[in-house]
Amino acid sequence: MLAMRPVDRALDAGDCRARLEWASECCARADLQLTAARRAVLEFLCARTTPVVVETMVSALAASSCGHFVSFYRAVQRFEAAGLVRRVSGAGQRAVRLACAAADSLVCRQCGRAVAIADLSALHELERRVAARTGYRIQYHLLEFDGICHRCQRVNTVLPS
Ligand SMILES: [Zn+2]
């Protein structure tokens, strides 16, 4: 069984740094220069364990710093095109996540709430076995669960359909 933890799990600095390194390598491979706006978007995403609603992120970044809304939206588009960032299907396509293994999460199909998957040891074991069987050096995987969260399950049973 995979253990779940609530949304606001603090991400430790090491995890965050590892993601930033991964993202920087992806940018270098894709020939994407790290402009101030792109860096701000990456840092925002790397510091979070769950998918992020694009509008929320862009508003926060535009309010706090160094760039215009348009630059942040463009940065997200470029990252999507380069495969660093992908849309999360369970959240009405409004949320994005890093396309790296460390960002695996579980998303509610109905309200878009997401929880980080805290214990991925079973998955790491699977990755190890797949690598051993195929001889591939696995660099990352994408894993997306979606379902209905506790709150939405309660609302569904209370409301007449
Ligand atoms: Zn929900």
DSSP state of 129: H
Best CA proximity match to 112, nearest among 64, 55, 40: 55
Q: What is the mean pLDDT of residues 127-137?
A: 91
Yes or no: is domain 13-151 CATH 1.10.10.10?
yes
86 alpha carbon – ligand 1 mean position (Å): 21
Helix (H), strand (E) at residue 108 = strand 105-108
SS3 11: coil
The tens digit of pLDDT for each residue in 95-129 reads: 888 877 555 677 777 777 777 776 777 877 888 99
- 10-52: per-residue pLDDT in tens? 456 677 888 888 888 889 988 999 999 999 999 999 888 777 8
Q: 77: CA distance to ligand 1 center in Å?
A: 27
What is the whole-number distance in angstroms between the Cα of residue 78 and the centre of ligand 1?
Answer: 29
Give distance in angstroms: CA of 94 to centre of ligand 1: 15
CA of 154 to the centre of ligand 1 (A): 9
What is the residue type of 161? S
Domain residue ranges in the chain? 13-151
